[in-house]
Structure 1
Amino acid sequence: MPTTFSYASILHAVGQVLDQIGVKSIAIHEEEDGLFVEGFNSEGQLQVQMRYDIASLYELVRRQEEQSEEQSATPTTGVLHRFLADHRRELVGMTL
């Protein structure tokens, strides 16, 4: 039986890659054999182009699902701390 993925899982996996690269806007074109993705910086200039065929989309979604399962199986430091770490920021306390 062939494995199928929803648009939501495919776009989520592709979005994770784009977030890691730091693009600010995207264009996604569905092609006969996969997706063509463009990412742009905050000035609207082309930052990255990626072409995913069916096999690479399958692998990308499968890896993303495995990572999600691993994260849910292990305790996390919290959403705020993960966000700050992803964006190379730190939480600063304030005393009165």
Structure 2
Amino acid sequence: MPATFSYANILHAVGQVFDEIGVKSIAIQEEEDGLFVEGFDSEGQLQVQIRYDIASLYELVSRADNQTEEPTTTQTTGVLSRFLSEHHRELVGVSL
């Protein structure tokens, strides 16, 4: 089944993950097999790097599209942790 996601859908879903961890700015690079996204803090220091392959993007955007109502704090708490755990991923270059 071909994906019909727009850049708006993809950026919204990725943005939700980065909002959760508190990044202040992002840099996105489209790659052959997905996206490479970097998040920076308010001082411009690298806070996080995440590489999304096509399957991960599809899953992330599908979840965001299926949320028909405004999520509660309980629903959004741990979104990044759950996503990374379910996809056996880890954050690269995390600065605390």
Q: TM above 0.5, one fold?
A: yes
Give the SS at the match of 2:48. Answer: strand
- Give the Cα–Cα distance (whole angstroms) in 1 for the partners of residues 14 and 23 of structure 2: 12
Q: CA deviation at 1:3?
A: 2.5
Give the SS at the match of 1:5. Answer: coil
Partner of 1:4: 4
Is residue 2:48 matched to residue 1:60?
no
Q: Quick one: higher RCO (CA 8 Å, sep 6+), 1 or 2? A: 2
Partner of 1:16: 16
- Give the Cα–Cα distance (whole angstroms) in 2 for the partners of residues 40 and 17 of structure 1: 13
Instruction: Give the structure-1-normalised TM-score.
Output: 0.70
**What's the RMSD between the two structures over aligned residues?**
2.1
User: Whose Rg is larger?
Assistant: 1
Q: CA deviation at 1:16?
A: 0.7
Q: Output one character per residue of 1:46-82: Cα deviation in whole Å (capped at 9) or x when no partner.
A: 1000000000000000001112x1x16xxx89xxxx8
- Give the Cα–Cα distance (whole angstroms) in 2 for the partners of residues 9 and 56 of structure 1: 14
Q: Output one character per residue of 1:11-59: Cα deviation in whole Å (capped at 9) or x when no partner.
A: 1100111111100011000000000000000111110000000000000
Q: Which runs of 4+ in 1 moved over 4 A?
A: none
- Unaligned segments of structure 1, at least 5 residues: 87-96
Instruction: Give the structure-2-normalised TM-score.
Output: 0.70
- Unaligned segments of structure 2, at least 5 residues: 78-96
Partner of 2:88: none
**Amino acid paired to 1:54:** I
Give the SS at the match of 2:18. Answer: helix
Report sequence identity in percent.
77
Paired residue total:
74
